[in-house]
Amino acid sequence: MSRKLGVPCECGAAWPGTRICHCIGCHRTFTGERPFDAHRLGNHGVDRRCATEAEMSIKGLRERAGRWYRPVGAKRTITEESTNECLAAA
C-alpha cells in the first residue's frame, strides 16, 4: 500500500514538500527519508516494524512540532538501510 506524495493520509495528516515522509504505519511525520528509515526496525518481510518513541530517542531522533528529525551531528550507531520505502511502508 502506498500513497502519492502530497495526498493526505487517512489519519488526517498532511505535509508540504516532497522531502517530508509520513509513515502510514505509525502515522508519524519525518523531515526526510533518513530519519524515516531510522525509525523502521527489523528485517523486511520478517519483523519489520516501527520504532517506539524510546527507540527513536536512542537512535538520536528528535521530535519538534510534530516532525521527527535527526539533529546534525547525531551519532550514527545504527546501521541504516537505504531503502526507498518512504510512504510505502506499513
Binding stretches for Zn ion (CB under 5 A): 9, 11, 13, 23, 25-27, 50
11 within 8 A of 25, measured Cβ to Cβ: no
For Zn ion, the closer CB: 45 or 73: 45
For Zn ion, the closer CB: 23 or 86: 23
Spatial separation of the C-alpha atoms in residues 70 and 36, rounded to whole Å: 10
How many CB atoms lie under 10 A from the CB of residue 90? 13
For Zn ion, the closer CB: 53 or 73: 53
Tell me the β-bridge partners of 33. none
CB of 26 to Zn ion, least distance (A): 3
CB of 51 to Zn ion, least distance (A): 7
Quickly tell me which residue has 511525520 as its cell: 29
